[in-house]
């Protein structure tokens, strides 16, 4: 028997056609829910139910736990199961396609790493605002000024600085949740900036360590390619104490080493979810000592 799942239901078939079916509810939300589960490689309850106690052949890897996986079997190209034969209209399919696309967008927008990117961008805006306000207050305070004139600006600066601290705390909480290894290796704020520069944690996870090393130094890299000179040795990871507190001659090597450990850490955060931070930190500190003692 062959197990075939369409957007409107799951079917048991043989060479003569459909022998048994379990149709999905004729409800947009319910069908979208099932299609999203399928996209995430989950087996539907309807599929488990219809395949129970039956030896089935499947053409999807996600179904290989309940059947024999044979994606090249010509049967799957020959079988034709029409939605209209089961009361599912083309109009419903059109509505579901739109709802499915919207669901994907909404889910992506809710992604925690995208929230971190927005917080990092907001933090940078607030830091810039704080610097501008501080500079204005310093200039203003040089001359005798009634308190009622300068107080509103002082209050605004206080509010901005308070929000900066709140955002930094929230970034630390979120980073330790979605990227604990990365946070422990490079710090939550620097890690968040790396995610922001890469465009997301999954994108960061597939970058080579050499690219991680210079994230944030794009202008310097562009200038090097255009005008020559020395290429940048580090980008945003310069903010890490191991790099910025090292001798200038050692920074390149330490930045490269740190980038390698970050690349490993973020891969663990995304793909394996294992806590390998202690091993990475121990090896990192050992290698840094070796570099400094040469």
Query: Domain spans of the chain?
Result: 2-109, 112-292
Give me the chain's average pLDDT, please.
Answer: 90
Please check the confidence at residue 109 and state whether its pLDDT lies above 60. no
**In contact, 232 and 212? CB cutoff 8 Å:** no
**What's the pTM?**
0.66
Return the CATH architecture of domain 2-109: 2-Layer Sandwich (3.30)
Q: Quick check: helix, strand or coil at residue 216?
A: coil
Q: Cβ neighbours of residue 280 under 8 Å, at least 6 residues apart?
A: 181, 184, 185, 261, 264, 265
Cα dihedral across residues 252, 188, 212, 263: positive or negative: positive
**Residue 269: other Cβ atoms inside 10 A:** 25
* Class in CATH terms, 112-292: mainly alpha
Averaged pLDDT for residues 166-191:
95
Assess whether the region 2-109 and the region 112-292 belong to the same CATH fold: no
pLDDT tens sequence across 216-232: 876 766 666 666 666 66
Least confident piece of the model among 70-79, 158-167, 181-190:
70-79
**In contact, 209 and 260? CB cutoff 8 Å:** yes
């Amino acid at each position: 028997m062959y197990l075939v799942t369409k957007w409107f239901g799951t079917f048991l078939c043989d060479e003569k056609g459909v022998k048994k079916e379990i149709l999905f509810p004729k409800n947009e939300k319910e069908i979208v829910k099932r299609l999203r589960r399928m996209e995430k490689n989950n087996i539907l309850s309807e599929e488990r139910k219809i395949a129970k106690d039956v030896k089935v052949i499947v053409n999807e890897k996600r179904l290989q736990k309940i059947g024999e996986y044979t994606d090249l079997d010509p049967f799957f190209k020959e079988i034709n199961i029409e939605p209209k034969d089961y009361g599912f209209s083309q109009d419903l399919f059109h509505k579901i396609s739109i709802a499915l696309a919207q669901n994907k967008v909404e889910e992506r927008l809710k992604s925690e790493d995208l929230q971190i990117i927005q917080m990092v961008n907001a933090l940078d805006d607030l830091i810039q605002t704080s610097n501008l306000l501080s500079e204005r207050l310093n200039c203003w305070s040089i001359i005798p000024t009634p308190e009622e004139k300068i107080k509103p600006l002082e209050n605004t600066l206080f509010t901005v600085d308070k929000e900066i601290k709140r955002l930094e705390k929230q970034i630390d909480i979120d980073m330790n949740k979605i990227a604990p290894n990365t946070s422990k290796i490079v710090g939550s704020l620097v890690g968040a900036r790396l995610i922001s520069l890469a465009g997301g944690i999954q994108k960061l996870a597939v970058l080579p360590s050499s690219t991680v090393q210079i994230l944030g130094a794009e202008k310097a890299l562009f200038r090097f390619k255009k005008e020559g000179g020395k290429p940048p040795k580090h980008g945003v990871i310069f903010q890490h104490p191991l790099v910025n507190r090292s001798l200038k001659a050692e920074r390149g090597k330490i930045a490269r080493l740190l980038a390698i450990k970050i690349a490993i850490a973020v891969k663990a955060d995304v793909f394996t979810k294992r806590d390998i931070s202690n091993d990475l930190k121990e090896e990192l500190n050992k290698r840094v000592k070796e570099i400094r003692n040469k």
